[in-house]
Amino acid sequence: MATKVKDPAELPVEDKLKNLYQLQTMLSEIDKIKTLRGELPLEVQDLEDEIEGLTTRIEKIQNEIVELKREVADRRGNIESSNQAIARYKEQMDNVRNNREYDSLNKEIEYQQLDVELNQKKIREAEEAVRMKEAEVQQNSSQVTERRTDLDIKKSELDEIISETKAEEEKLRERSKNLELSIEPRLLAAFKRIRRNSRNGLGIVYVQRDACGGCFNKIPPQRQLDIRMRKKIIVCEYCGRIMIDPELAGVQLDKPATEKPKRVRRSTKKAAEEKPAED
């Protein structure tokens, strides 16, 4: 006959707190593994984003270069057409019949010459822009090469760390998932919310030296007594973390220092007897 799994909501408060603290311990170990990786994952992501941005920029500039070269080719064609028109108008000037036709052809020639000069100017500007953009492409390509080298080094370091900690992390994650099944969903959601909002990732802490183990604010004696009773979930009124007593967390408390024996005062009579006589 299969054993009936107990509803997490029906567990005693003490068991709920114990399960939460065990979960916190596992999650803290996972956080330590992430800390061991340091900023490497972010650095790798930043380098990948930068390389992608540079690559996109290079493609955009190369497209602009293609457009500029196409413009140069079109303007060269315009110059050739204008030169042909100028030659044709000059031939026609040999057969003009009056000054009006001569002036008209002369204006057409001047117009075509201005058009040639304009196209030549635009060609020079476009060719200069092409040179600048090609230099920019070369510079960005050099940066991409450097960033790819840095990325390979960072990825190698990250992969080495991950390979060393992957098995341990997967084991901790599996155990934490199994443990979460024994925690009431509402309590688990509250615990995770507290963890997200805390800087050190602690959602449950034990009392240390009469203070909260998360924010280190003093806890009143009556509240400490309630925590030791383990009858209800108690949170810190300052930081909102769930609090438990050290014994439940498995922490050995320091024994109070032994009081020094009180010094016995001698009687006045005995002190008088021992006092040396005056001359």
Q: Domain holding 206: CATH number? A: 1.10.287.1490
Average pLDDT over residues 27-55: 88
Name the residue with tokens 């020639």: 109
For residue 129, the model assigns a pLDDT of 95
Residue 257 within a domain: no
The pLDDT value given to residue 141: 95
Are 101 and 213 found together in one domain?
no
Between 257 and 73, the more confident residue is 73
- 90 in the same domain as 58: yes
Q: Which of 133, 167, 201 is the last residue of a domain?
A: 167
Kindly state whether residues 103 and 114 are assigned to the same domain: yes
The answer to whether residue 174 sits within a structural domain is no
Residue 111 lies in a domain: yes
Residue 258 forms part of a structural domain: no
Lowest-confidence segment of 31-40, 112-121, 214-223 by average pLDDT: 31-40
Segment (H or E) for 153: helix 99-180
pLDDT value at residue 279: 40
What pLDDT sits at residue 198?
86
Would you state the pLDDT for residue 277?
46
Could you give the number of structural domains in the chain?
2
Range of the domain at 50: 39-167
Same domain, 56 and 147: yes
Q: Is the pTM of this model over 0.75?
A: no
**What are the beta bridge partners of residue 208?**
211
Name the residue with higher pLDDT: 84 or 260: 84
Is residue 270 assigned to a domain?
Answer: no
Q: Closest Cα to residue 186, out of 4, 5, 8? A: 8
Say which CATH number the domain at 133 has.
Answer: 1.10.287
What average pLDDT does range 97-125 have in this prediction?
92
Q: Which residues, in sequence order, are CB contacts of 42 under 8 Å at separation 6+?
A: none
pLDDT of residue 164: 77
* pLDDT value of position 2: 44
